[in-house]
Amino acid sequence: MTFQDLGLSQPVLQALELKGYESPTPIQSQAIPFVLEGRDLLGIAQTGTGKTAAFVLPSIDRLVAADKRPKPKCCRMLVLAPTRELAGQIAQSATDYARFAHLKVATVFGGTSLHRNRQDLARGVDILIATPGRLVDLAEQRALDLSQVEILVLDEADQMLDLGFIHALKQIVRLLPKQRQTLFFSATMPNAIRQLASQYLTDPAQVAITPAATTVDRVDQRMCFVNQQEKQALLTLVLRDGFGAGEMTGTMDRVLVFTRTKHGADRVVRKLAQSNIRSAAIHGNKSQPQRERALGDFRQGSVRVLVATDIAARGIDIPGVSHVLNFELPNVPDQYVHRIGRTARAGADGIALSFCAPDERDYLRDIQRLTRVTLEPMPLPSQFRSEVERIAALPPTSPRDEDRPERRQQRGGGRPQRTAQARPTHGAPGSGSGAGAGAGAGAGNRSRSRRRRSGTGATS
């Protein structure tokens, strides 16, 4: 099957040809016809299978066929994403696909200028990609009118409908017209969330390429039992010497390390710097420039280890992630599926290794029950005990450097220079809390207090 067989228009086909895309993925071939028909859709597929194109391509054709111009401060298609990075990636794809359709694409998310957002929306846009918190801010300030939305898309819908986002979503839905097309896409969709999604979909078509809990087939999944306080030693050994176990040894091109908390991610980065392993952290307490710098260094290879929280890494598509290391197991088993889906993308193979402490065995059991995969235990490396002693002898690290870890790494773990950039950003605009970063820079105390009163969740 080709994209032409799916009934897409010539401008879209021309854009796909320019990107070198020849054949649709399974989620694209099954979802695109339903979207072209104007049906509501619930689509479930593993990460890295092309969900973005599955909703953007046919939506471009529907917007072009309607032959309307966006009104000032309005958008015709609204795409909601849980993180800033995912919103930016969707926007880039939409811009590429709409290259010959002459549609205007814009993004709004925390950490960017509200004034710039208002300018971008002033004349109206065809496709708007947004995180919920910033979208609510703009709507409350009357800088955005959602009454003209023709297509609503929730990407990573299970996360969008989770407790951290449901209040903001309800606010947004109240501002949308009842007559619209609604599309939900996600890698996982627990039954409880599926029931919640039914409140927003009307007679939806359902496309499930793989069972909701199925993990990526091309990921070799292993685990190590290790005490919590000794995990840093194991991580350092793995990053420095490889897995040290036959078939699990491989070139560690780009390694994504997951922690459960933002402070935990910063602590891992600081401890790795003491062992002369350069890494960067990405989470909701980081400013937008810091997050972009960390991702840029990771993509370019100048930093080969990226330490992330679940929400910050959600939906990130970075080619060449060879390994995923679960420094801490997620307390929500669905997150495990999303974590290991960051590797083995575009047909490549990947390796996932999870560190399991005694108090995390219940999490491990839940993950194995959900995924129906038994993680094979691996023995600790022979030099593990000596590495534990070495790590324990290192001096304590200071959280002052958590926003500029590269300073410590460049100086071999020395005391940071006192600069404005080296201070933590916990109280800065856009730092956020809870599930991730909030509305972002420029929103002002008034906007943040409105979100607290209204119960709006964090957006990235």
User: Which tens digits make up the pLDDT trace of 223-240?
Assistant: 999 999 999 999 999 998
Instruction: Give per-residue burial for 182-208: e unless 16+ CB within 10 Å, then b.
Output: bbbbbbbbbeebbebbeebbeebbebe
Confidence of residue 104 (pLDDT cuts 50, 70, 90): very high
State the virtual CA torsion across 235, 239, 245, 250 in degrees, nearest 10.
150
What pLDDT shows up at residue 172?
94
Under a CB-based contact definition with an 8 Å cutoff, are residues 279 and 405 in contact? yes
Share of the chain above pLDDT 90, in %: 52
Which class in CATH covers the domain with range 219-422?
alpha beta
Give the Cα separation of 362 and 359 in Å (integer). Answer: 7
pTM higher than the cut 0.75: no
What are the residue ranges spanned by the domains of the chain?
Answer: 4-208, 219-422
Nearest to 8 by CA among 54, 73, 49, 52: 54
What pLDDT shows up at residue 402?
45
Confidence of residue 252 (pLDDT cuts 50, 70, 90): confident
Nearest to 364 by CA among 192, 191, 222, 186: 222
The alpha carbon of residue 402 and the mean position of all alpha carbons in its chain are separated, in whole angstroms, by 21
Share of the chain above pLDDT 70, in %: 78
Higher pLDDT, 435 or 266: 266
User: Which tens digits make up the pLDDT trace of 379-407?
Assistant: 998 899 999 999 999 998 876 554 444 44
Query: Which range has the worst mean pLDDT, 115-124, 304-313, 450-459?
Result: 450-459
Under a CB-based contact definition with an 8 Å cutoff, are residues 29 and 6 in contact? yes
Residue 299 confidence (pLDDT) above 50: yes
What pLDDT shows up at residue 278?
93
Residue 210, Cβ density class (10 Å: 0-12 exposed, 13-18 middle, ≥19 buried): middle
Confidence of residue 419 (pLDDT cuts 50, 70, 90): very low
Region 324-352: mean pLDDT is: 84
Say if 4-208 and 219-422 have the same CATH topology.
Answer: yes
User: Which tens digits make up the pLDDT trace of 57-88?
Assistant: 999 999 999 999 999 999 999 999 988 888 98
What pLDDT shows up at residue 444?
45
Q: Return the CATH number of the domain spanning residue range 4-208.
A: 3.40.50.300
Query: Which range has the worst mean pLDDT, 112-116, 130-134, 310-314?
Result: 310-314
User: Which tens digits make up the pLDDT trace of 133-146?
Assistant: 999 999 999 999 99
